[in-house]
């Protein structure tokens, strides 16, 4: 009764078999990693990753009207997740978590997809109503494998995350580093 796929997504028909982790290196030297996991929300999206190994607070932690992390002590403070693949540990804080992420969908500031490590009621409900493709229960900790700036394909139908490492790995954590630098500057 509802349109579940993200707008304009193309659904890859996957063969119904086992998906296993595969690390490949393409001809032009890009490393590609496939992480098998569990589908949370269907649909497919491809975007740049924004990664934190911390949990994210919804109410009081995210401004849904501009898609920005506002929790002052968070390593992604000031970073915008709109149209990115948000890779994070999980949810914390108020029971308003789903309402905040629900609002990002209406305000068109939502992430392109979500990949998270730890399931709770907050993050599961929030992912469902955000309706962006989402995957969890990956065979490795996604916050360790994926770095900010990597190109990521989230296939919420197959339950897989495909990561293409950013060329020239130096400073792959630039967003977190920038946030840390901002903190240092304001001290």
* Binding-site member from 127, 146, 153, 158 for another protein (CB under 8 A): 127
Whether 95 sits among the annotated catalytic residues: the reply is no
Is 139 a binder of another protein (CB under 8 A)? no
DSSP 8-class letter at 78: T
Task: Using CB under 8 A, pick the residue from 119, 162, 164, 174 that binds another protein.
Answer: 119
CB of 157 to another protein, least distance (A): 13
Burial class (CB in 10 A: 0-12, 13-18, 19+), 131: buried
Contact 111, 133 (CB under 8 A): no
* Region binding another protein by CB under 8 A among candidate stretches 8-16, 78-86, 89-97, 142-150: 89-97
Between CA 34 and CA 22 the distance in angstroms is 5
Q: Which of 114, 105, 109, 110 is nearest to 154 (CA)?
A: 114
Pick the closest to residue 41 from 113, 138, 102, 97 (CA basis): 113
Region binding another protein by CB under 8 A among candidate stretches 5-13, 75-83, 99-107, 144-152: 99-107
> Distance between CA atoms of 42 and 45, rounded to whole angstroms?
10
* Closest separation in Å from C-beta 128 to another protein: 5
Q: Does 96 bind another protein (CB under 8 A)?
A: yes
Contact call for residue 27 and another protein (CB under 8 A)? no
Nearest to 134 by CA among 32, 1, 6: 6
Catalytic residue among 94, 95, 98, 99: 94
Pick 81 or 116: Cβ nearer another protein: 116
The set of catalytic residues is 94
Residues that bind another protein (CB under 8 A): 1-3, 38, 40-41, 60, 65, 72, 92-99, 102-103, 106-107, 119-122, 124-129, 131, 134, 137
């Amino acid at each position: 009764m509802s349109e579940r796929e993200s707008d304009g997504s193309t659904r890859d028909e996957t063969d119904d078999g086992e998906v296993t982790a595969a690390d490949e290196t393409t001809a032009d030297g890009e490393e590609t990693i496939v992480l098998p996991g569990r589908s949370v929300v269907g649909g497919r999206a491809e975007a740049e990753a924004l990664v934190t190994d911390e949990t994210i607070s919804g109410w009081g932690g995210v401004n849904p009207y501009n898609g920005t992390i506002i929790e002052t002590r968070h390593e992604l403070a000031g970073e915008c997740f709109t149209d990115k693949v948000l890779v994070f540990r999980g949810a914390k804080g108020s029971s308003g978590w789903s309402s905040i992420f629900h609002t990002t969908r209406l305000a068109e500031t939502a992430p392109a997809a979500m990949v998270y490590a730890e399931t709770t009621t907050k993050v599961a409900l929030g992912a469902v109503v955000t309706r962006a493709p989402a995957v969890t229960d990956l065979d490795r900790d996604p916050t360790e494998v994926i770095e900010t700036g990597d190109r990521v394909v989230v296939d919420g139908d197959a339950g897989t995350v495909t990561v293409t490492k950013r060329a020239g790995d130096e400073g792959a954590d630039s967003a977190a580093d920038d946030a840390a630098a901002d903190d240092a500057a304001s001290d």
